[in-house]
Amino acid sequence: MSRQPLPDELVELIAERFRLIGEPIRIRLLDRLSAGERSVGELAADLGATQQNVSKHLATLHKAGVLTRRKEGNRVVYSVADPSVLALCSTVCDGLRVQVAELARIVGA
């Protein structure tokens, strides 16, 4: 049974999602947030980045609907709103682990 090609509009949305998470700091932020909600300050300290830089990337992910945010006193706390992004990152990581292991096996042989 053959599959229908993806509509152009869907292809564009998929490409936009990949561009959105294509920044290494955004992947690191998603990785940290996969364990639960965190404040901007906690994330900045954990990543060794400025709060301004972390805030900018969190705002971009929030605007795209990937994250939720709430105020907690003076702090802004973020959490993952779209778990499919975490699943995507996990799938890519799993594929890379297999490729690296295979390459190590070939080189070591």
- CATH number of residue 24's parent domain: 1.10.10.10
Pick the more confident residue, 44 or 101. Answer: 44
Q: Is position 39 within any domain?
A: yes
Q: Is 97 inside a domain boundary?
A: no
Range of the domain at 68: 8-82
DSSP at 65: T
Q: What is the pLDDT of residue 1?
A: 67
Is 56 part of any domain?
A: yes
Q: Per the domain annotation, does 47 fall within a domain? A: yes
Q: Is residue 65 domain-resident?
A: yes
Q: Higher confidence at residue 109 or residue 78?
A: 78
Residues 6+ apart with CB under 8 A from 32: 38, 43, 46, 47
Asked if the structure places residue 88 within a domain, the reply is no
User: Has residue 2 been placed in a domain?
Assistant: no
Cβ neighbour number for residue 59 with a 10 Å cutoff: 15
Q: Span 61-89, mean pLDDT?
A: 95
How many domains does the chain fold into?
1
What pLDDT score was predicted for residue 80?
98
pTM value?
A: 0.86
Segment 93-108, tens digit of pLDDT = 889 898 998 888 898 8
